[in-house]
């Protein structure tokens, strides 16, 4: 299905998330100690530079209108919003001692989360959001 133009930025960020998740999952599985420590830094930088803003973009322009107006999607949005919280808590909790498990959890969570948004959430809102709501997605400016 062709994505609505206003969702292109978020969708292209999703592609980046899937690439990141795959890379981190591989390191969690077979990386040595040095690679695991490097991966923690990579993930924390990725979160600071991109992922937190991506979450806010979705929360302000997609989840908020769902909770206010498009309540039929709440069942879909609620666990996704909770996962934003889980990922936010996981990032500062990544430590050298638990790097392998922590990175594996992060990678799996990010992959599954992103897939549900692309395969279920975006197709659902493409059917129900108004032009104004899509324009708000397009014109989002981080705070």
Identity of the residue, 36 or 118, whose beta carbon is nearer to Fe ion in the bound complex: 118
* Tokens matching residue 21: 């998740």
Residue 118 found at the interface with Fe ion (CB under 5 A): no
Site map (CB under 5 A) of Fe ion, residues 46-65, x = contact: ------------x-------
Using the rule CB under 5 A, is 117 a contact of Fe ion? Answer: yes
CB of 11 to Fe ion, least distance (A): 9
Least distance from Fe ion to the Cβ atom of residue 13, Å:
7
Rank residues 61 and 94 by Cβ distance to Fe ion and give the closer one: 61
Using the contact rule CB under 5 A, the part of the chain among 18-26, 67-75, 86-94, 116-124 near Fe ion is 116-124
| Closer CB to Fe ion, 77 or 94, in the complex | 77
The closest of 20, 22, 18, 41 to 30, measured between CA atoms, is 22
Distances (CA, A) of 124 to 41, 87, 135: 35, 23, 17
User: Where are any strands of DSSP class E within the chain?
Assistant: none
Residues in contact with Fe ion, counted by CB under 5 A, come to a total of 2
Q: Which residues contact 4 (CB under 8 A, 6 or more apart)?
A: 126, 134
> Given the rule CB under 5 A, which of 70-78, 99-107, 109-117, 125-133 is the region that contacts Fe ion?
109-117
Query: How far separated are the first and last CA of the chain, in Å rounded?
Result: 32
Nearer to Fe ion, 100 or 115 (CB): 115
d(CA 18, CA 135): 25
Closest CA to 129 of 7, 42, 1, 2: 7
Q: Which residues bind Fe ion (CB under 5 A)?
A: 58, 117
């Amino acid at each position: 299905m062709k994505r609505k133009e206003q969702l292109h930025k978020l969708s292209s960020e999703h592609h980046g998330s899937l690439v990141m998740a795959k890379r981190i999952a591989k390191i969690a599985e077979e990386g040595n100690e040095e690679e695991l420590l490097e991966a923690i830094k990579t993930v924390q930088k990725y979160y600071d530079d991109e992922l937190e803003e991506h979450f806010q973009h979705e929360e302000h322009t997609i989840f908020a209108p769902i909770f206010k107006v498009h309540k039929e999607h709440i069942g879909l949005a609620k666990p996704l919003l909770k996962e934003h919280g889980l990922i936010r808590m996981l990032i500062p909790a990544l430590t050298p001692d638990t790097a392998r498990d922590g990175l594996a959890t992060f990678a799996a969570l990010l992959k599954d989360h992103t897939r549900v948004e692309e395969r279920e959430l975006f197709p659902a809102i493409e059917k129900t959001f108004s032009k104004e709501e899509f324009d708000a997605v397009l014109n989002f400016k981080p705070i």
